């Protein structure tokens, strides 16, 4: 199988955009250009304004150069798409299905399975946000030649590419040069960690970066646990360079750190779990708002209000479908609470790997109340609990409308596990994963019973 993902840049449109602005179509932003460590650019003289920026070009063996024939096909298809708008007489807006039908009719001996995104325009040209197809003619990868699959996906708008490109690279800068030094004495570890100054870390980041600016730079801190005295901990700082917005989630970052450690150490994972458990055994809670249960359903002029009443069997089924924690653990630790945002019921459960056996939300926030911030009882909670409740409401507001390609507030990320989309944030070194409303209905969860008269659910 061969896979190509890239962006079609149109220098004519990019140069015509007003200074300081980005053309609506045909222009790649500086931010999006950081989505891959290395890229290639392909062009041909017959279409001098167009060139392909290849972000992913790989087969079963890994990264490969873009085959010349495939690059030619991509640029020919892109030129053909731009030419449709300029046909005489000018057709104006082109429907996506019309474009796909024309593509298949024109190139049916070269490609198949055309699909595309919504149409976009700059007022003159109409192009799809993205286009995907399977090549049939490449002598190595084309299906007619090899029986393999050759999938090509190109984007024409930066807004779509920036949110939809799903590959990434993560580089890790550790707190000490030789990772196996963590298995010396705790005093030696403390000295080594202290010896790597902020200046040293910046120098290491610049070395890792080279000539390829990253999409984002993150820092994470984890406690080293002295194997001879669990009370003796040392804070270690790890720096993460992420290329591609899709890599900015807890699973990808944690996986990159773990892979980096194991690839650069003579010790196995069990040894590392003992001294850096926060990396290898993360503390997290899965949160499932009962988005499909209404006390008062939506009306034409007024939004509905969720039901705070939860059937315990249905609540357990919900959390069990999205959290791979095991039925016995969920049955013993799942909790249901009402949050003061549209009166919604929220099911939560902590991972079996959580530190300090914090499996129930009350193990972390024993004074958690279901009251709004305006209540006189709000200040009776500890400040940390107050802030968590406010954070929970903020998460609910955003998770209610978040979709796969939507943006998230600063300090939060998106995560997809088993086709379920989560809004994720970290609070006091604990990750909270909230299932979004767009992931409903959840597979395997029966619909709530609904009253025919009132529309209420249970």
Tell me the average pLDDT of the chain: 93
Per cent of the chain over pLDDT 70 is 96
Three-state secondary structure call for residue 422? strand
Q: What token pair was written down for 355?
A: 């530190």
Cis check for the bond before 122: say yes or no (omega within 30 of 0): no
Identify any residues that bridge with 349 across adjacent strands, giving them in sequence order. 286
Are the C-beta atoms of 202 and 276 separated by less than 8 Å?
no
How far apart (Å, rounded) are the C-alpha atoms in residues 141 and 273? 43
Cα 201–chain centre separation: 27
How far apart (Å, rounded) are the C-alpha atoms in residues 171 and 193? 19
- pLDDT tens across 396-440, in order? 999 999 998 888 998 899 999 999 999 999 999 899 999 999 999
Domain ranges of the chain: 2-164, 169-280, 284-439
- pLDDT tens across 53-96, in order? 999 999 999 999 999 999 999 999 999 999 987 765 556 788 99
Q: What token pair was written down for 369?
A: 């109340």
Residue 77: closest CA among 103, 101, 51, 99: 103
Confidence label for 457 from pLDDT (cuts 50, 70 and 90): low
Task: Please report which residue ranges of 196-311 form alpha helices under DSSP H.
Answer: 198-209, 250-263, 269-275, 277-280
- pLDDT tens across 261-280, in order? 999 999 999 999 999 999 99
Question: Looking at the predicted structure, is the pLDDT value of residue 122 above 60?
Answer: yes
How far apart (Å, rounded) are the C-alpha atoms in residues 445 and 428? 32
Confidence label for 20 from pLDDT (cuts 50, 70 and 90): confident
Confidence label for 452 from pLDDT (cuts 50, 70 and 90): very low
- CB-neighbour burial class of residue 216 (10 A; exposed 0-12, middle 13-18, buried 19+): middle
């Amino acid at each position: 199988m061969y896979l190509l993902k890239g962006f079609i840049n149109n220098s004519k449109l990019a140069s015509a955009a007003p200074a300081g602005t980005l053309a609506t179509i045909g222009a790649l932003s500086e931010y999006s250009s950081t989505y891959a460590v290395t890229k290639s650019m392909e062009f041909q003289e017959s279409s001098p304004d167009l060139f392909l920026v290849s972000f992913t070009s790989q087969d079963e063996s890994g990264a490969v150069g873009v085959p010349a024939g495939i690059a030619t096909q991509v640029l020919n298809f892109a030129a053909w798409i731009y030419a449709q708008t300029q046909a005489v007489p000018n057709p104006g807006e082109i429907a996506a299905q019309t474009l796909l039908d024309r593509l298949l009719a024109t190139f049916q001996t070269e490609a198949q399975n055309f699909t595309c995104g919504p149409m976009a325009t700059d007022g003159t040209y109409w192009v799809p946000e993205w286009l995907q197809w399977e090549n049939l003619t490449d002598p190595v990868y084309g299906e007619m030649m090899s029986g393999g699959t050759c999938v090509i996906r190109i984007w024409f708008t930066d807004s779509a590419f920036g949110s939809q490109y799903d590959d990434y690279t993560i580089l890790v800068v550790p707190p000490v040069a030789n990772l196996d030094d963590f298995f010396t004495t705790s005093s030696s570890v403390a000295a080594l960690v202290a010896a790597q100054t902020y200046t040293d870390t910046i120098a290491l980041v610049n070395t890792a970066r080279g000539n390829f600016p990253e999409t984002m730079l993150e820092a994470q801190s984890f406690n080293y646990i002295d194997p001879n005295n669990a009370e003796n901990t040392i804070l270690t700082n790890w720096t993460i360079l992420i290329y591609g917005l899709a890599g900015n989630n807890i699973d990808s970052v944690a996986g990159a750190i773990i892979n980096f450690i194991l690839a650069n150490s003579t010790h196995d994972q069990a040894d590392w779990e003992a001294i850096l458990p926060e990396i290898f055994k993360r503390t997290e809670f899965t949160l499932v708002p009962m988005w499909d249960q209404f006390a008062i359903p939506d009306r034409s002029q007024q939004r509905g209000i969720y039901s705070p009443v939860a059937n315990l069997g249905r609540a357990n089924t919900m959390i069990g479908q999205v959290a791979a924690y095991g039925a016995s653990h969920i049955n013993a630790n799942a909790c249901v609470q009402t949050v003061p945002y549209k009166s919604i019921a929220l099911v939560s459960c902590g991972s079996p790997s959580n530190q300090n056996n914090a499996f129930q939300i009350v193990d972390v926030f024993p004074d958690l109340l279901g009251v709004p911030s305006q209540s006189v009882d709000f200040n009776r909670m500890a400040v940390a609990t107050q802030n968590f409740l406010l954070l929970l409401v903020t998460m609910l507001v955003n998770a209610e409308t978040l979709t796969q390609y939507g943006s998230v507030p600063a300090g939060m990320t998106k995560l997809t596990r088993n086709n379920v989309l989560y809004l994720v944030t970290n609070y006091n070194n604990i990750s909270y994963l909230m299932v979004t409303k767009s992931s409903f209905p959840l597979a395997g969860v029966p619909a709530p019973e609904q009253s025919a008269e009132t529309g209420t659910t249970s």
